[in-house]
Amino acid sequence: MRPVQKFNIGHVLSDGQLVTANYNPYGKANPILQENLGSYCSYCEVFSSDLEVEHVISKNQDRNLETSWSNFLISCGRCNGRDNKTNKHVDFSRLYMPHLNNSLLPYEYKEGGVIAINSDLNDTQKEKAQNTFNLLGLDKYPGNPNYPPTSKYPQGFPPGDKRWEHRRKAWDIAVCKRTDYENNIIFARNIAEFATQRGFFSVWFTVFNAHIEVKQQLIIAFNGTAINCFNDDNEQIERNPINTVDKI
């Protein structure tokens, strides 16, 4: 998941308005979230014109946070849908979240739309990465043993959940673009511009792992990417270096 940096309360928006602590009704925050974070689902990273204000702590869990800017991300209907996050309990100490952690670090993006847990994590971190999968269902791809086939769902999850397939296509396109880039047919900026119209920052960032210049352009081009999650060589770094429990 792309790590993101939310606007602070008081941030001056493009129309001159300030970001406020509360939005009532919360839907008013939608365009502000998209100015801040781009038109990407905060979880699956798809580029979409149909994103919803996402209550990180659900309204069921804490009604007091229903209008709170600090509790908002933006998500697609699938990530926040009935079969995924919806009203599940959220405990930040047991999860990785894109606005609090370097949410790229716990995961490895791979060919075929696959996301796996980074094998370099310690056991506690692996558990948090798995909890985050369980919350969002981002690891729903055909063949994942965590989602065995059932009579209702032969691929192990509802057929409408195409997040893995969108990720797979983004991967395949990124690989083609990488060849063009290495043959000097296109430039880093072109790749970033193209990628912003598809989403899946994490996929692009992974495919272009060896190309610092492209990674730099991706970080710049995707609105709201948390720049403190990358070092001068555009490598992923821990976001919470003074946290003694978990620096990710």
* Cβ closest to Zn ion, residue 26 vs residue 43: 43
Contact in structure between 224 and 5 (CB atoms under 8 Å):
yes
Part in contact with Zn ion (CB under 5 A); list of ranges 16-24, 69-77, 103-111, 186-194 = 69-77
Total chain residues near Zn ion (CB under 5 A): 5
Under rule CB under 5 A, residue 41 binds Zn ion: yes
Q: How far is the CB of 202 from Zn ion (least distance, A)?
A: 12
Q: How far is the CB of 142 from Zn ion (least distance, A)?
A: 18
Under rule CB under 5 A, residue 65 binds Zn ion: no
Q: Indicate the Cα dihedral angle 228, 45, 126, 244, nearest 10°.
A: 20
Site for Zn ion in 227-246 (CB under 5 A): none
Part in contact with Zn ion (CB under 5 A); list of ranges 34-42, 56-64, 111-119, 227-235 = 34-42
Contact in structure between 157 and 83 (CB atoms under 8 Å):
yes
Q: How far is the CB of 79 from Zn ion (least distance, A)?
A: 3
Under rule CB under 5 A, residue 51 binds Zn ion: no
Q: How far apart are CA 4 and CA 181, in angstroms?
A: 26
Under rule CB under 5 A, residue 79 binds Zn ion: yes
Under rule CB under 5 A, residue 138 binds Zn ion: no
> Judged by CB under 5 A, which of 19, 29, 44, 195 binds Zn ion?
44
DSSP letters spanning 101-134: S-TTTTEEEEGGGEEEE-TTS-HHHHHHHHHHHH
Under rule CB under 5 A, residue 4 binds Zn ion: no
Nearest to 85 by CA among 56, 117, 108: 56
Buried b (16+ CB within 10 A) or exposed e, 118-150: eeebeeebeebbbebbebbbbbbbeebeebeee
Instruction: Tell me which residues touch Zn ion (CB under 5 A).
Output: 41, 43-44, 76, 79
